[in-house]
Amino acid sequence: MKTKAAKRWIDRTIITMMAVLGVFMLLPFAWLFSMSFRPPAEAYKMPPSFLPPTLDFKNYRAVLGSSIPFLRIYWNSVEIAVLVTFGQLVTCTLAAFAFARLNFPGRDSIFFVMLVGLMFPAQVTIIPIYLGFAQVGLLNRPIGLVLMYLTSSFGVFLVRQFMRSQPKALEEAALMDGAGYWKIFYRISLPQLRPALSALGIITFTQTWNYYFQARVLLEPQQSMTLPIAMDLLRGYLASGNLSVVMAAMSMAVLPVILIFLLAQKLVIEGVTMSGIKS
Amino acid sequence: MQPPARRIKSDLEKAQTRAGYLFVLPSFALYAVFVLAPVIVTFVLSFTYYDPMGGSQWVGLDNFQRFFTGDRSLQIFWNTLCFAIFAVAGNVTVGLLLALALNRAMPSFLLYLFRLAYFLPVIIAAAFVSIVWGYFYGDDLGVINYYLIRLGFAPVHWLTSSRTAMMSIIIMDIWKNAGFFMIIFIAALQGVPKAIMDAATMDEPSYWRRFFRIVLPWISPVVFFAIVYASIGALQVYESIVILTQGGPGDATRSMSIHIVEEAFGSFEIGYGASVSVIMTLVILIITSVQLLASRRWVRY
């Protein structure tokens, strides 16, 4: 039998090891922020820095002053992520309310058909979407991506599950009092959903901020790009000796997600984990 | 004559039906346009030679035959499977080890910091972290090689040798995603009832034997879920490879996703690209159902 002291010693060793490993996990981020403050002339000088050598925002100004429409690209990312997040919250809660609270013929088969969608990768829908967007003039327009991400089977599923775990006595009482379904949804169900919706909103925002595959296919001109695809472009344009400027752009690109994570770590982890537990 | 109560009920039912369809409509219409219809069209396209100018032709299984007989496409298929196998094994194993290490009493600020460090890579876009890792993996100016040389080792051609490039991408993938599985496994480990753990500690003093005999079977449904989930993601691998190696050197790291985009939108081989994406979907479906069947057999619920 191990003694208590031995056990505590093991605990401490493991925690120390995890701390060291944790520092290594964060090194790429430390490097990226520090390099963004290095003078471009010293960008490739060794050793690399993992703490900012100065606090001079010159590289950040260089990104904004470059030939690449960085602000426009940033705005595209913000616009898509915000619209998609709100859109999904609306479409998913509406559908989830119907699936969880209403009785109508075909309800369960419609729900099943929507769940099947979780199995299809983006690769198997991209070709027709590209051809269709070309037909209707949505190619190279951020709004096309917004439309395409505007609902999600996963979101519907998540909110429905949450709603089913809540008591429905209030809704039934309201129905008896003659309230319409819209009113019941808006006044009674929606306020109860707040925890599920904040998790869904945060996870949708970060996911949309990070999407790459479809954006890469559907958005070609620089004016219409989102940040993840533009970073690759920036690397090509600015990198000729200008690593520091690329990292300044990158720091700005990752900032919103890092801020969200620092402020709402619990919600983010909850959201991401829930998005995993869909099956 | 109908009793009035019944009529009220059927009015109510009618109203409920109408409300139900209206509430579902926005989601379902978007889903039909952006998921259902494209899947069906892709499936049809995969049997055609698509030519927007001169009319398309039905070519039967030609596209599929082309994929499964071409040396290049077979290598791409194998690359994708190889990446998936090692990335899944690595992510799930490392995630489980991290979870075991963190599943102990510790001050809550430490837990916050650990979750921060291990989970941060999960939520940052693969496109962003791949660019950073590209500089880490550089041959002459790379951060890792600089320290290898300082420590007296030979530098490694992380991304420029066909023998190591795939391994380098897998290492980055594990760095990026293991934290996700860690979080899932921590939740699972905390679900193991304390009474069972206490009893187990009594008659099985060895930590690892206790783990394999009691803890692992208990959390096995979550492990199986993690494997399925990781496989689905890994088979679609795209941006990390595009950014780190563009599929090279040669075709050493080219994945099916890259192949689809290059063929369909680079060479405008729409029909062939569609067939590759159908194959990818089928592989995902097969792996998912095999794993689900296997889990029904092996997992102790």
Instruction: Give residue-wise pLDDT tens across range B240-287.
Output: 999 999 888 889 999 999 999 999 998 888 999 999 999 999 999 998
> Which residues in B lie closer than 8 A to residue A130 (C-beta atoms)?
264-265
How far does the CA of residue A210 sit from the closest CA of chain B (Å)? 5
> To which H or E segment does residue B58 belong?
strand B57-58
pLDDT above 70 (res B164): yes
The domain that contains B122 carries what CATH number?
A: 1.10.3720.10
Q: How many domains does chain B have?
A: 2
**Mean pLDDT comparison of A64-73, B162-171, B194-203, B244-253, highest-scoring range:** B162-171
User: What percent of chain B has a predicted confidence (pLDDT) above 70?
Assistant: 95
Give phi and psi for B127, each to the nearest 5: -60, -40
**For residue A240, with 0-12 CB atoms within 10 Å meaning exposed, 13-18 middle and 19 or more buried, which class applies?**
exposed
Exposure b/e, A164-202, CB count within 10 A at least 16 = b: eeeeeeebeebbeeebebeebbeebbeebbeebbebbbb
Domain identity same for B180 and B122: yes
Per DSSP, helices labelled H in chain A are 4-35, 58-64, 70-101, 107-116, 123-136, 142-149, 153-164, 169-176, 181-183, 190-192, 194-210, 213-218, 227-238, 243-263, 265-276
Question: What's the ipTM?
Answer: 0.88
Q: Is B48 helix (H, G, I), strand (E, B) or coil?
A: strand
Q: Which of A98, A103, A113 sits opposite B23 (nearest CB)?
A: A98
Lowest pLDDT segment from A46-50, A157-161, B1-5, B8-12: B1-5
Q: Which of A2, A228, A273 sits opposite B184 (nearest CB)?
A: A273
Say what the pLDDT of residue A40 is: 78
Does residue B101 sit within a domain? yes
Say if the Cβ atoms of A276 and B184 lie within 8 Å.
yes
Say what the pLDDT of residue A278 is: 46
CA distance A133 to A211: 18
Task: Tally the C-alpha atoms within 13 A of residue B216's C-alpha that lie toward its C-beta.
Answer: 12
Question: Nearest chain A Cα to B256, which residue?
Answer: A123
How far does the CA of residue B127 sit from the closest CA of chain A (Å)? 6
> Which residues in B lie closer than 8 A to residue A262 (C-beta atoms)?
116
Per-residue pLDDT averaged across A32-37, rounded?
90
Asked, as a colleague might, if the bond just before B249 is cis with ω within 30 of 0, I would say yes
CB of A228 closer than 8 Å to CB of B125 = yes
Structure confidence at residue A86 as a pLDDT band (50, 70, 90): very high
pLDDT digit string, tens, across residues B36-49: 999 999 999 999 88
Residues 6+ apart with CB under 8 A from A236: none
Say what the pLDDT of residue A9 is: 87
CA distance B217 to A243: 49
How far does the CA of residue B1 sit from the closest CA of chain A (Å)? 25
Say if the Cβ atoms of A151 and B15 lie within 8 Å.
no
Residues 6+ apart with CB under 8 A from B205: A1, A2
Q: Which of A114, A213, A262 sits opposite B31 (nearest CB)?
A: A114
Say if the Cβ atoms of A254 and B273 lie within 8 Å.
no
Does residue B50 sit within a domain? no
Say if the Cβ atoms of A125 and B34 lie within 8 Å.
yes
> To which H or E segment does residue B76 belong?
helix B71-102
What range defines the domain where residue B24 resides? Answer: 4-45
Does residue B119 sit within a domain? yes
Per-residue pLDDT averaged across A179-200, rounded?
86
**Which fold is adopted by the domain A63-276?**
MetI-like fold (1.10.3720)
Say what the pLDDT of residue A277 is: 55
Q: What angle do CA B39, B31, A215 make, to 5 degrees?
A: 70
Domain identity same for B83 and B225: yes
Structure confidence at residue B209 as a pLDDT band (50, 70, 90): confident
How far does the CA of residue B34 sit from the closest CA of chain A (Å)? 6
Lowest pLDDT segment from A96-105, A253-262, B11-20, B167-176: B11-20
pLDDT above 70 (res B216): yes
Say if the Cβ atoms of B27 and A92 lie within 8 Å.
yes
Q: Which of B98, B105, B135 sits opposite A243 (nearest CB)?
A: B135
**For residue B150, with 0-12 CB atoms within 10 Å meaning exposed, 13-18 middle and 19 or more buried, which class applies?**
exposed
CA distance B164 to A68: 34
User: Residue ranges of the domains in chain A?
Assistant: 4-61, 63-276
As a dihedral over the C-alpha atoms of residue B234, residue A220, residue B122, residue B255, rounded to 10 degrees, the angle is 20
pLDDT above 60 (res A241): no
CA distance A36 to A169: 56
Residues 6+ apart with CB under 8 A from A106: none
Does residue B57 sit within a domain? no
Question: Nearest chain B Cα to A36, which residue?
Answer: B132
Say what the pLDDT of residue A138 is: 93
How far does the CA of residue A199 sit from the closest CA of chain B (Å)? 14
Domain identity same for B155 and B89: yes
> Which residues in A lie closer than 8 A to residue B136 (C-beta atoms)?
28, 31
User: What percent of chain A has a predicted confidence (pLDDT) above 70?
Assistant: 95
Say if the Cβ atoms of A124 and B125 lie within 8 Å.
no
How far does the CA of residue A3 sit from the closest CA of chain B (Å)? 12
Domain identity same for B10 and B98: no
Say if the Cβ atoms of A104 and B115 lie within 8 Å.
no
Say what the pLDDT of residue B290 is: 84
Identity at B106, one-letter amino acid code = M
Domain identity same for B127 and B236: yes
Structure confidence at residue A279 as a pLDDT band (50, 70, 90): very low
Query: How far is residue B265 from each of residues A127, A214, B192, B261, B271, measured CA to CA in Å?
Result: 8, 12, 50, 6, 11
Does residue B55 sit within a domain? no
CA distance A83 to A238: 30
Say if the Cβ atoms of B131 and A97 lie within 8 Å.
no
Say if the Cβ atoms of B229 and A97 lie within 8 Å.
no
pLDDT above 70 (res A238): no
Q: What angle do CA A36, B238, A72 make, to 5 degrees?
A: 45
Q: Where are the beta strands (DSSP E) in B184-289?
A: none
CA distance B222 to B208: 19
> Which residues in B lie closer than 8 A to residue A11 (C-beta atoms)?
104-106
Terminal Cα distance for chain B, rounded: 55
Domain identity same for B258 and B189: yes
Domain identity same for B137 and B256: yes
Residue of B14, B16, B18, B24 to mutate for A, most A C-beta atoms under 10 A:
B24
Say if the Cβ atoms of B136 and A17 lie within 8 Å.
no
Say if the Cβ atoms of B123 and A147 lie within 8 Å.
no
